[in-house]
Chain A
Amino acid sequence: MRVSPYVWCGSALLVALLLSLALGSEPFPLEDIGRTLLRGLGFLESSPETVTDDKIFFGLRLPGSVLMLLVGAALGGSGAAYQGLLRNPLADPYLIGVAPGAALGLVSAITALQTLSPSLDTTTLAAVRPVASFIGAILTVFVVYRIARVERSAPVTTLILAGVAIGAFATALTWFLMLQTKQNSDRIVLFMLGGYSQGGWPPVLAALPYIAVGLIILILLARPLNVLQFGDEQALQMGLPVERVKLVLILAASLAAAASVAVAGIIGFVGLVVPHVIRILWGPDYRHLIPLAILTGAATLLVADTITRAVTSVRVLPVGIVTALMGVPFFIYLLRREKRSYW
């Protein structure tokens, strides 16, 4: 019997979520997770000895897992959309400068705010982060597009070249700003290589609306994205308002990607490889590719984060390092196995 890809990816996400909730410095066995959740919902009475557990679970473990789920979903979905938009298998939030631009927007906004009013509370900062990232990402996309533009459209090769160049420029500026302000070096490494410091619910709530809106638009526009795979000219001749559709898709994908950078730094690899894995296994139809990449991106990042937390020998281990170490071998295996053109 053929099992639906949604069942595979959905189960993978569920298992990854349970693992992520269960494992950590304070392990929660599965039955404890169930009981803790019931207590949280008010179905079970809490007792003095469960209070600390509940605090750890609801204040740290659960929001941490939900954050990784959201960020992984954003990276998987937006990566698939960028690859489709640029019709290039190398595309991901890095390649057209979105992630570096988001990072620069975020770091400059935070630096400016902390210089102007050093007493700003963390909730306001958490709310500012996704907005600043999105503005940085969109400005970068705009600059990249203007540089790459030839007459009325931007050819993919020049778009990518401009994106790589501007991305490198933005990354250099970001490093400069971060080192200039003499921040805690652990935090800098975590941000630039992807990761989060336990922040509870504020980052989750700050990122959720942006990621949700961006991903819903991408899911709804999957059919036009399919049509774009035949090239701008053919898409136009089939009646698609190409430039407007592309603009909306870029905005939606950048919204999700920028929000993920805002709360978890620059996590590489998930946005690049997850969509390819889905494509190799189940084909290029974006109507399925986008939702499946969202589910699988979430599962992948949850697993990577769980491993990251389990490795205690390193003081700070950015989750981005784990995503690369874990996924690249798997990706190479799939790539070598698949002889047929899957793109």
Chain B
Amino acid sequence: MERGEVVALIGPNGAGKSTLIRAASGRLEPAGGTITVDGDRVHHLRPELVARKIAVVPQAVRLPEAFTVLDTVLMGRTAYLGWLGRESKTDLEIADAAMKRVGAAGFGPRRLGEISSGEQQLVLIARSLTQTAPFLLMDEPTAHLDLKHESRILDLVRNLAHRDRLAVLVVLHDLNLASQFADRVALLAAGELRAAGPPAEVLTKEHLSAAYGVPIKIFPHPDGGYPVIFAEGAKE
């Protein structure tokens, strides 16, 4: 992966998308092959060293509702604080900047249980930004979100890659979102990489129907020309 690009990871359920994210964050040992970051094998690095290189935004999860947004965002600094560290003024500034960056400035004193799930997702992104890691992994960041929050978050993801020069790997279930927002797409099926490249090259009838096992119809989008994908047969 290169800094400055959004790579969408797509594939059917059980293809190994979340497993790849877990392996890339050092949580699981790869059964074959290696995952390296700046030349070091992720699985051999201590957790705090991995966390300084790779930040993960988890899939929609139940959060401890009584914690405040600011405390949550500050926890992203764990990799720099160690076991006994206390947050410094610098850590606080980094957290404030991260909240501003995702459009959650002023959320600080609110509790996680008092904000919407879209806002919670923004908070988790802000937390991952305080890790100041060059690589950002996101597992279904738009799951269960409405259209407005969906596009807001994906715009932010693109912005983080293109403007802040982060390398962003984002697992997406919705092929059309991958088509619309990603610079490159990687298609996983049955645990192996089937295709990788620009959306127009990966999101083809042949690749997708083979991977998903359903007939696929593809149209070019009237505005951008990027592929719009449907599974065939729903209304026949």
What is A's interface to B at a CB cutoff of 8 Å?
A: 87, 220-221, 223-224, 226-227, 229-231, 233-242, 245, 279, 283-285, 340-343
Residue in A220, A221, A239, A341 whose beta carbon sits within 8 Å of that of B113 in the complex: A341
Partner of A223, one of B27, B50, B85: B85
Q: Are A236 and B26 in contact (CB under 8 A)?
A: yes
B contact residues, range: 35 or more
**A342: chain B residues within 8 A (beta carbon):** 66
Q: Does B121 contact A (CB under 8 A)?
A: no
Nearest B-chain residue to A229, judged by Cβ: B64
Q: CA of A245 to CA of B82 in the docked complex: distance in angstroms?
A: 11
Within B67-95, which residues are at the interface with A (CB < 8 Å)?
A: 67, 71-72, 75-76, 78-81, 83-86
User: A87 — which chain B residues lie within 8 A by C-beta?
Assistant: 64
Indicate whether B147 reaches chain A with its CB closer than 8 angstroms.
no
Q: Are A341 and B66 in contact (CB under 8 A)?
A: yes
Residues on B with C-beta less than 8 A from A242 are 47
B17 at the binding interface (Cβ < 8 Å)? no
Q: Are A238 and B64 in contact (CB under 8 A)?
A: no
Contact (Cβ within 8 A) B78 A240: yes
B65 adjacent to A343 (CB under 8 Å): yes
How far in angstroms is the closest Cβ of chain B from A224? 6
Cross-chain pairs A/B with CB under 8 angstroms, 10 sampled = A221-B83, A229-B67, A230-B64, A230-B72, A233-B58, A234-B58, A237-B25, A238-B79, A239-B51, A241-B46
- In the complex, A223→B77 CA distance in Å? 11
B67 touches A285 (CB 8 A): yes
A237 touches B75 (CB 8 A): no
Q: Which residues of B contact A (CB under 8 A)?
A: 22, 25-27, 46-52, 54-56, 58, 61, 63-67, 71-72, 75-76, 78-81, 83-86, 113, 127, 131
Within 8 Å CB of B46, what residues of A? 241
Taking A227-B78, A239-B50, A343-B65 as known contacts, 13 extra A-B pairs with beta carbons closer than 8 A to each other, sorted by chain A number, are A223-B78, A223-B81, A223-B85, A224-B83, A230-B72, A236-B47, A237-B58, A238-B78, A239-B49, A240-B48, A284-B67, A341-B65, A343-B66
Complex formed: what's the CA distance from A285 to B131 in Å? 21
State whether A284 and B66 are in contact (beta carbons under 8 Å apart), knowing that A223-B81, A239-B78, A239-B79 are contacts in the complex: yes
Question: Are A237 and B83 interface neighbours, CB within 8 A?
Answer: no
Q: 4 tightest A-B contacts by CB? A: A239-B79, A239-B51, A239-B48, A237-B56
Compute how far the CA of A241 lies from the CA of B45 in the bound complex, rounded to whole angstroms: 11
Residue contact A241 to B47, C-beta cutoff 8 Å: yes
Contact B27 A237 (CB under 8 A): yes
